């Protein structure tokens, strides 16, 4: 598979900073302090931990798995980048849903994020404090897609906005990062003709399902609680392997189904994988309604990465939902376990073939930027 591409990509593609070369001195772990949302405490009105991404990085630093210098620094997706998937009408609605005199209010963003007070704040503040972090995470997913092709694996510590489609957001998802990552790969990376989405968030991934409803190049496996949001029957038509769970599903049943169906899906097709690794399956999650232990989540992620490694398939992981304070620790523990198991890191790409460049775990000098975990 040819991996040759540049920031412009194939003929007709727009110029983008998201496919700029990342030095081999960077791990294919993508993050920016810009991911974290802090806005006068309003972020606390939603059960989502809007600072969990920085906590994951801090835990990985404390365990001495990474340093800030070896992380690939995420870039914000520009409007032109977003227009690869999103309609101009939808992006405009995020900017100025309601006009009152010279004030621009934020009805659409308040609805998507499920934080009603955002409605009464000027849109320029909402853009800066809420949407810019989400655009940066979206850029991170697109960057991680290319890194996965180059290195064999990549993890965006954020992203996974699987309720957003090209023209509609919802469920704290304002941008369709999974769809964008796949469309960028199709348009810009030679030889990428198919993709599989394995969505293991507790909620149905109706956003990317709507985007790929008629696209046979994309195979979707979705494992979710059948009784909760969004219950989008129309979007379910895009799912090639649907696994619907009941309230309180526990580790044994869950892991058996994940392994059985992921193996089945990857035996049907042999494409690149986007893995939506939501932690809202955790026991006690206020929105997920399942009963998976922290150890079960760590094992789940290992199952998916091991299946990809065994087949030599590039894999991109995004972290998606998770509505308890302890989810950041679980994500970090899962990443550490993947490394211990030889599923990520330099040894994970050994023998993957000439299309994968060797990974060097030394100081990253990408674009001269430095940052600290939050």
- Which residues are marked as active site? 163
- Could you say which DSSP state residue 86 is in? S
Contacts of residue 28, Cβ cutoff 8 Å, sequence gap at least 6: 22, 72, 144, 147, 148, 150, 151, 153, 154, 155, 359
Is 270 strand, coil or helix? coil
How far is residue 35's CA from residue 18's CA, in Å, rounded to a whole number?
Answer: 16
Q: Which helix (H) or strand (E) holds 209?
A: helix 206-211
How far is residue 219's CA from residue 266's CA, in Å, rounded to a whole number?
Answer: 10
Q: Please, are residues 130 and 113 in contact by the beta-carbon 8 Å criterion?
A: yes
How far is residue 334's CA from residue 69's CA, in Å, rounded to a whole number?
Answer: 21
- Could you say which DSSP state residue 215 is in? -
How far is residue 201's CA from residue 352's CA, in Å, rounded to a whole number?
Answer: 28
Cis bond upstream, residue 230 (ω within 30): yes
Q: How many helices (H) and strands (E) does the chain have?
A: 11, 10
Q: Please, are residues 218 and 182 in contact by the beta-carbon 8 Å criterion?
A: yes
How far is residue 278's CA from residue 143's CA, in Å, rounded to a whole number?
Answer: 19
How far is residue 112's CA from residue 63's CA, in Å, rounded to a whole number?
Answer: 35
- Cα 250 to chain centroid, rounded: 24
Token look-up 């469920």 returns 171
The alpha-carbon radius of gyration of the chain (Å, integer) is 19
Q: Please, are residues 176 and 94 in contact by the beta-carbon 8 Å criterion?
A: no
Query: Can you spell out the DSSP letters for 31-60?
Result: E-GGG---STTGGGGSSS-TTHHHHHHHHH
């Amino acid at each position: 598979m040819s991996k040759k591409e540049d920031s412009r990509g194939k003929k007709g593609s727009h110029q983008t900073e998201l496919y700029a070369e990342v030095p081999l001195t960077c791990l294919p772990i993508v993050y920016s302090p810009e991911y974290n949302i802090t806005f006068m405490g309003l972020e606390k009105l939603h059960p989502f931990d809007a600072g969990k991404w920085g906590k994951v990085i801090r835990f990985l630093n404390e365990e001495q798995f990474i340093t800030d210098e070896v992380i690939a620094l995420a870039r914000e997706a520009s409007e032109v980048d977003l227009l690869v998937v999103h309609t101009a009408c939808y992006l405009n609605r995020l900017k100025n849903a309601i006009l009152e005199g010279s004030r621009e209010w934020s009805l659409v963003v308040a609805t998507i994020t499920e934080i009603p007070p955002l409605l009464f704040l000027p849109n320029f503040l909402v853009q800066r404090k809420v949407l810019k972090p989400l655009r940066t995470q979206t850029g991170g997913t697109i960057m991680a897609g290319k890194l996965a092709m180059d290195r064999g694996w990549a993890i965006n510590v954020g992203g996974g906005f699987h309720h957003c489609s090209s023209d509609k957001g919802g469920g704290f998802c304002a941008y369709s990062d999974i769809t964008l990552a796949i469309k960028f790969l199709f348009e810009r990376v030679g030889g990428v003709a198919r993709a599989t989405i394995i969505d293991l968030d507790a909620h149905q991934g109706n956003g990317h399902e709507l985007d790929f409803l008629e696209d046979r190049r994309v195979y979707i496996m979705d494992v979710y609680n059948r009784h909760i949001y969004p219950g989008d029957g129309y979007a379910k038509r895009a799912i090639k392997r649907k696994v619907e769970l009941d309230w309180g599903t526990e580790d044994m049943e869950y892991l058996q189904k994940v392994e059985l169906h992921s193996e089945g899906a990857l035996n049907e097709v042999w494409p690149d994988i986007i893995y939506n690794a939501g932690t809202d399956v955790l026991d006690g999650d206020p929105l997920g309604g399942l009963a998976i232990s922290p150890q079960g989540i760590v094992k789940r992620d290992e199952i998916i990465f091991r299946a990809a490694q065994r087949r030599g398939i590039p894999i991109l992981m995004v972290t998606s939902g998770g509505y308890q304070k302890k989810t950041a620790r679980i994500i970090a523990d899962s990443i550490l376990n993947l490394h211990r198991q030889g599923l990520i890191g330099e040894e994970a790409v050994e023998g993957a073939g000439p299309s994968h460049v060797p990974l060097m775990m030394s100081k990253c000098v990408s674009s001269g930027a430095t940052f600290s975990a939050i």
